[in-house]
Amino acid sequence: MEHRLGSDSRKGDRVSRIGVVRFPTMPPASDPSASGPPAPLKERIMTIVIIGAVLLYALWTLRGAGTAQDHPVEPEAAVMATVTPDKVPLTTGEEPIAEIFTRAGCPVCHVIPGIPGANGQVGPKLVLGTTGLQRIQSPNYTGEAHTVHDYAVESVLDPERFVVPGFPGRTMPAWYGSKLSALALEKIATYLEQQTESMPPG
């Protein structure tokens, strides 16, 4: 842009200029609405954010699966959640044998021939007429019983004294003995030592 100072005086063909001042040309003002990174850059940023979110989700899922495998639910925990002292009434021994077993909670974990509903799979099948003598004569036996009857009593009063191979330890509650009278315990032992593999389930 030019701004002329003074005036032009013309005399014939002669022009006299007093002076000329030039001002620098200013760039056009920027549009505020056009602020922010260009469109391609915005797309790259959004892509990175999405990929990061997906990776974080995948890592979190794998971490949860690993935790579940590292800390599986122990079978005894499930049993203890089902059978607790407050749920097992005191057994006098005057009850029918099936009721004694049921009150004691034995069917929850064991298969017991002749006892209705005794189909548990946590502990071994209670056919001590077949397995009792084999266990107390085994070199792996760590209890003190010398007869099948005593082994049955020992298994109830001190279940950790000998755990049958292939079954989890710390599963049978040690407080069972406190819920059984001497008569009830005697009836249980007598019944179990008579059960064999050939007998039908309850």
CB 85 within 8 A of CB 175: yes
User: Treating both helix axes as pointing N-terminal to C-terminal, what angle do 182-192 and 97-104 enclose, rounded to 10 degrees?
Assistant: 110
Which range has the worst mean pLDDT, 73-77, 96-100, 165-169?
A: 73-77
Segment 146-169 shows an average pLDDT of 94
**pTM flag (> 0.85):** no
pLDDT of residue 73: 39
Task: Report the first-to-last Cα separation within the chain, whole angstroms.
Answer: 111
The CATH number of domain 89-192 is 1.10.3720.10:
no
Contact at 8 Å (CB) between 104 and 112?
no
Separation CA 121–CA 199 (nearest Å): 17
> pLDDT (tens digit, 9 = 90+) per residue, 33-82?
445 555 567 666 766 656 665 556 555 545 544 433 443 434 444 444 45
With a cut of 70, say whether residue 12 has pLDDT above it.
no
189-199 mean pLDDT: 92
pLDDT the model gives residue 178 = 81
Least confident of 50-54, 133-137, 174-178: 50-54
Helix (H, G, I), strand (E, B) or coil at 97: helix
- pLDDT the model gives residue 188: 96
Ranges of each domain in the chain? 89-192
